[in-house]
Amino acid sequence: MDLKQLKLTPKRKEICERLSLNDSEAILSYYPFRYEMYDSRHYKDFKINDQVCFVGELVSYPSTFRRGKLSTSRFKVLYEDEIIAVTIFNRPWIRNLRMNETLTIIGKYDGNNKVTASNYFAGDMSGSIIPYYPLKEGISQNDIKKLIQAVMNKCEGELTDDLPLQLREKHRLIDKKSALMNIHNPVNRNELAKAISRLKYDEFLRFYLSLDILKGSNTKNEKAKKIFDDEKVNAFIASLGFELTTDQKAAVDDILKDLHSSKMMYRLIQGEVGSGKTAVAMIALYANYLAGYQGALMAPTEILAKQHAQSLQKQLGPFGVSVVALYSAMDEEKKVKQMISMGEADIIVGTHALFSKDVEYKKLGLVIADEQHRFGVRQRQALKDKGENCDFALMSATPIPRTLASSIYGDMDISTIATLPAGRKGCKTCLIKQNSIVSILDQVKEKLDEGRQIYIVAAAIEASENYNAKDVNGLYESLKEELKPYKAGLLHGKLSTEEKDAIMEAFNKNEIQVLISTTVVEVGVNVKNATMMIIYDADKFGLSQLHQLRGRVQRSDYEGTCFLLTGNKDETVLKRLGILCKTNDGFEISYEDLKIRGPGDILGTRQSGLPAFVLGNLIEDTRFIDAARADAKYISDNKDKDGFKDYYMKTAKMANQNFIS
């Protein structure tokens, strides 16, 4: 049912809109992210610092003390013939409790019959399992629970199970209705486990069947073979002035075979930071040009688009190739678009402007998207549709192990560039356990005295009460004086295009020695003389993003240095950041990040169109993954048979909407 059919109250409808829940299926699939299990413990088993849960009787009225906006309440309960003194913070309404009322207390045992409570409930909640949902400001747990229960009541008679009965019986899975009821209102651990198993399997089965359907649709797309002289391609490679690595050569061979083939290329080129993916893309674009086609290279930022265009023109210009840049609000936009439509531009490098409705290509044959996870599937498809059965490649600097890549990008062929070009020294990374430059200031000035340049990265543009992090504007104001006589520049996404261009040009020319920036420098910015990076609030970033950022200071024959600053004392956070100090292996780092943060954040799957698994975990749930992959293939092979046809057709419709429409 859609929102209109559900006839929700205005408040519940607003909650759905804020959480992007468009129908009953989406609402019922808004699963809890954690549960609290209220298993009561006997007093004799209490140990100091243990988390405890117990049910007692109130035997003293709560007294509450205030200090500013904070409050402390104290009261006593009788539990198993023991008087327990309870302290709880910021619950001033607790004074409304009645004497002899039954309470469930959850908290930490401090010893000497004292408990610091984290929560309490009226009544006996022992044995209960309480779900907790992801929230947005202004939406409470109670709001979500009431919404889900209201939708469950309205849809209860219409909750059908489309999973083929044969598969449910094979894996001893409960029905969909029971799974949804038990994941939102679990009666015990066993029923909750059954619900999670069923719904995890559903997620993986839909995912792998969708990939199978997409792979089938991609392999069906025929195109004219691209005919070009491989010797001319080899001559261009020889002109680059450096030897391709073994992995680069293998990736080039894969792409040239794809271009020569009558099957449309649909390939992921994944590679380590600084591994030379751009050189591989350049060779592909040249081969495509030799075959008489235009090529488009889509970059995530204007800065990177211009940088790519300049690099391509420098290398390909002498071979007669015309390279143009296209981005929004550029001075010569109309002229460039005319060149593209007339076929006077052979390679077009740009941002989202490449797939604008008024951009017409004369003969587009190859599309390459750089940093692919920053573009939505619909955006990539819109550009691909500008040509007729274009070859298509995606480049990603978030490398993951090949077996995992096959799971996530199962509808694509994969080329992996793991080795760095000869001479690259990598980057030494140090964790500084304070969010200040003070302890490393001498090293910073020493690096500047050597004639090198430095990046300083902030997590925020402006100071905010809701986001406790150093802001780039504040850092610029404080550090530009501290680092004199060296000149500092300020760079962030809110500057105009002209301002950003001027700052980057000045940094390129070493007219600015310290670039104080947000993460706009994360991808593609290539200043070889910059060999040090300082990242404030490093705990605010994922490991893969930090690895990407430090890649900016390993672009030359000099070893880079990266300082990760954080004031966070959490041991888990410090251990996570410590991984970057131990390894420069992007595959290992992204794998660790994937375990910690999941595929939605690391691989941009929400942006790319791949489903972000809500319950499933690509690292831990191998049992479900193996079963789902095998069953997806079985459904594909038997899609016309009763029992599988409806499920296959529904999945195909979803795949077309979510992945390629």
Same domain? 365 vs 481: no
**Quick one: which of 404, 432, 414, 420 has its CA closest to 584?**
420
Residue 642 domain flag: no
Statement to judge: residues 288 and 349 lie in one domain: yes
pLDDT at 590: 74
pTM higher than 0.85 for the full model?
Answer: no
Percent helix, percent strand, percent coil in the chain, to nearest 5 = 45, 20, 35
CATH number of the domain that 111 lies in?
Answer: 2.40.50.140
Separation of CA 139 from chain center: 24
- Are 361 and 489 within one domain? no
On whether residue 292 sits in a domain, the answer given is yes
Which of 67, 96, 126 finishes a domain? 126
Same domain, 444 and 494: yes
CA pair distance 47, 43, nearest whole angstrom: 9
> If we measure between CA atoms, which residue out of 602, 529, 524 comes closest to residue 278?
524
Is residue 169 domain-resident?
A: no
| 190 is a domain residue | no
Give the end of a domain, one of 126, 158, 178: 126
Distance CA 481, CA 487 (A): 9
Residues 363 and 464 in one domain: no
With cut-offs at 50, 70 and 90, classify the pLDDT of residue 644: very high
CA atoms of 127 and 35, how far apart (whole Å) = 12
Q: Is residue 94 part of a domain?
A: yes
Express each pLDDT in 339-351 by its tens digit. Answer: 999 999 999 999 8
Same domain, residue pair 234 and 372: yes
Instruction: List residues bridging with 65 in a β-sheet.
Output: 72
Residue 115 structure tokens: 């408990």
pLDDT at 262: 92
Do 241 and 374 fall within a single domain? yes
Pair 413, 391: CB distance under 8 Å: no
- 519/461 same-domain check: yes
pLDDT at 543: 86
pLDDT surpasses 90 at 76: yes
Q: Give 306's contacts (C-beta < 8 A, 6+ positions apart).
A: 325, 327, 349, 501
Q: What is the mean pLDDT of residues 161-174?
A: 94
Asked whether residue 392 falls in the same domain as residue 432, the answer is no
**CATH number of the domain where residue 332 is located:** 3.40.50.300
CA 365 – CA 291 distance, rounded (Å): 9
- Between vectors from CA 256 to CA 555 and to CA 261, what angle results, nearest 5°? 150
- Extract the tokens encoding 358: 């008024």
8 A C-beta contact, residue 293 and residue 390: no
Share of the chain above pLDDT 90, in %: 49
Structural domain includes residue 408? no
What pLDDT sits at residue 657?
62
**Same domain for 359 and 448:** no
Choose one of 126, 152, 171: the last residue of a domain.
126
Same domain, 350 and 454: no
**Same-domain pairing of 313 and 374:** yes
Q: Do the domain assignments include residue 472? A: yes
Backbone torsions φ then ψ of 561, nearest 5 degrees: -130, 135
Residues 403 and 277: beta-carbon distance below 8 Å: no
Quote the domain boundaries for residue 62: 40-126
Number of domains composing the chain: 3
Q: Which residue has the tokens 């993003």?
A: 545
Share of the chain above pLDDT 70, in %: 89
Residue 279 φ then ψ, to 5°: -65, -40
Residue 171 lies in a domain: no
User: Average pLDDT, whole number, for the chain?
Assistant: 86
Q: pLDDT value at position 376?
A: 52
Would you state the structure tokens that stand for residue 501, as one six-digit string? 């261009």
Rg of the chain, C-alpha, whole Å: 29
